[in-house]
Structure 1
C-alpha cells in the first residue's frame, strides 16, 4: 500500500492577498505607465527647450544686426553727410553721445 503525501497549502489572509495584488498591480501596471508618461513629458519639455533656444538665437541675430545699424548711423561720416545735406556744419563739441 502506497501512501500519498499530503501537501500543506499555506493559506493567505485577505490582507495578505490584497497586499500581493497591490504589489503585482503596482509593479506591472503603474510603474511602466508612469515611466512612459515621464518619458513623454521629458520629450515635450525638450521640444519646448529647443523652440526657446531657437527664439533666443533669432533674437540675438536681430540684436546684433541692430547694433551694427546703430554703429553705422552713429559714424562720423554719416553724421557729416546728414549735417551737410541739411545745410548744417559739423561741430564735434555740439554732438552728445548717449549710451545705455
Structure 2
C-alpha cells in the first residue's frame, strides 16, 4: 500500500505541477502578447514622431517653391505691363495729327478733313 500512496502522491504532485505549468504558459503568452502590443505601439509612435518633422520640412519646401514661381510670374506680369504701356504711348504718338500730316506730305498726299473717318473700338 505504500507504493500506491507514493504513486498517488506523485500523481497529485504531477497533476498540480501541470496546472502550475499551464498557468505559467498562459502568463508567458499574455506577456508575449502585451510585449508585442507595446512594441507595436512604440514602433507606431516612433514612426509618427519621425514623420511629423519630415512632412513639415517637405511642405515648407513645396511652399517655398510655389512662392518662387509666384514671384517670377509677378515679375513677368510687371514687365509685360511696362511693355504694354510703352506700346500704348507709341500708338498715341503715331496717331497724333502732326505725325499723320508729316507722313502724308512725305508720301505726296494732301490733308482733306472731309475724307477723314474716325474708327473707334467698342
| Structure 2 runs not aligned, ≥5 long | 1-30
In structure 1, the residue matched to 2:41 is 19
Q: Distance in 2 between matches of 1:66 and 1:90?
A: 26
TM-score (norm 2): 0.65
2:62 counterpart residue number = 41
Q: Write 1 or 2 for the structure with the bigger share of helix.
A: 2
Structure 1 vs Structure 2 CA RMSD: 1.8
Structure 1: state its 5+ residue gaps. Answer: 1-10
**Pairing partner for 1:77 from 93, 98, 121:** 98
Aligned residues: 89
TM-score (norm 1): 0.77
In structure 2, what is the equivalent of residue 97 of structure 1? Answer: 119
The reply to whether residue 56 of structure 1 matches residue 77 of structure 2 is: yes
TM-superposed CA distance for 1:98, in Å, is 4.4
Report deviation, 1:91.
2.2
Q: CA-to-partner distance for each residue in 1:10-68, whole Å, 9 max, x for gaps?
A: x52523431331122112x1110010011111111111111110000000000000000
SS for the counterpart of 2:61 is: helix
Larger Rg: 2
Over 3 Å off, 4+ runs: none
